Amino acid sequence: MKVNPELLPEAKIKKEKQLIRNRFAPILSELSRKIPQTSYEELQRKLGFDSPYLYDASFLKTSLQSWKMQIHDAPILGYIFRNFKPNRHLEFGTWKGEGVVLCLKECSATVWTMNLWEGEPQDGPNTWAYSEELDSDGFHLGDKINTKTSSQKIYHQSDSYSFIGRQYKENNLGNRVCQIYCDSREWDTTNYPQGFFDTCLIDGGHTKELVINDTYKALPLIRSGGIVMWHDFCPDLDVITDMSSPRGVCEGIIEIFSEIRDQFSDLFWIYPSWILVGIKK
């Protein structure tokens, strides 16, 4: 029996990737025209800081497809927090609390951070967008998931319930954190005065709709001269082809670009990184 080669898994994946490339190529081209790149050497001047960003030279040789938040973007965010010294920081997307800890260790800010109480479901009730394998001596509750070798490994949903923000709790920094449990689309911002926050990191849901929602919710709350950062902004076609998170971020930003651009005195992509930065007017 002949098999249609287009039905083979490899052919199907290749076709899907080509469709993604065709769809996003014009979007990324438009982003490149509207949002300039800023090098590490330019960061000090762009942000008006007293000290330069001291970076690992190997970062310049690292593919954006191999980019890691903990290794590559965390030092950039730390540099911004350390030099800007926000008093009040807003974060969409707590997860384990890595971003919160980064901010709290670099400055004296109080952090308001938001996460869905039950985490982000993906592909059914027993798999999650952010599952982690437990160590053999792990004590957390988790689901048992059969592997290809038929052995069992225990996983926990790392972005839900007591796991949310566990890193700032483990570092005894919870006294400087206001943890908000809700869907950001339902978050009532009327309790906060305009310009209440000095900085904001948008790193919650990475669909176009949620990126737009979180941006709209955040902007009125950021003071003049404050800094807004979007994580997972990476308008690189190879990255976009392979990874869904930057697709949603780039789609969201380009869709509302004309509405939000005038609210910033500067808006730029730190290159290389997965970070978009805006300086509020």
**Is residue 155 over pLDDT 70?**
no
Percent of the chain exceeding pLDDT 70 equals 82
**Where residue 10 falls among pLDDT bands split at 50, 70, 90?**
confident
Residues 6+ apart with CB under 8 A from 226: 86, 195, 197, 198, 199, 200, 279, 280
Which is the CATH superfamily of the domain at 9-118+164-280? Answer: Vaccinia Virus protein VP39 (3.40.50.150)
Name the amino acid, one letter, at 60.
Answer: L
**Is residue 176 over pLDDT 80?**
yes
**Where residue 120 falls among pLDDT bands split at 50, 70, 90?**
low
Q: Which two tokens stand for residue 124?
A: 């059914």
pLDDT tens for 201-233 read 999 999 999 999 999 999 999 999 999 999 999
Q: How far is CA 253 from CA 66, 230, 235, 274, in A?
A: 23, 9, 11, 14
The mean predicted confidence, pLDDT, of the chain is 88
Percent of the chain exceeding pLDDT 90 equals 77
pLDDT at 11: 86
**Is residue 182 over pLDDT 90?**
yes
Whole-prediction pTM: 0.86
**Is residue 269 over pLDDT 60?**
yes
**Where residue 140 falls among pLDDT bands split at 50, 70, 90?**
very low
Sorted by where each begins, the domain ranges of the chain are: 9-118+164-280, 121-158
**Is residue 154 over pLDDT 60?**
no
pLDDT at 5: 55
- 280, containing H or E segment: strand 275-280
**Is residue 142 over pLDDT 60?**
no
pLDDT at 159: 62
**Where residue 7 falls among pLDDT bands split at 50, 70, 90?**
low
Q: How many CA atoms lie within 13 A of 45 on its CB side?
A: 5
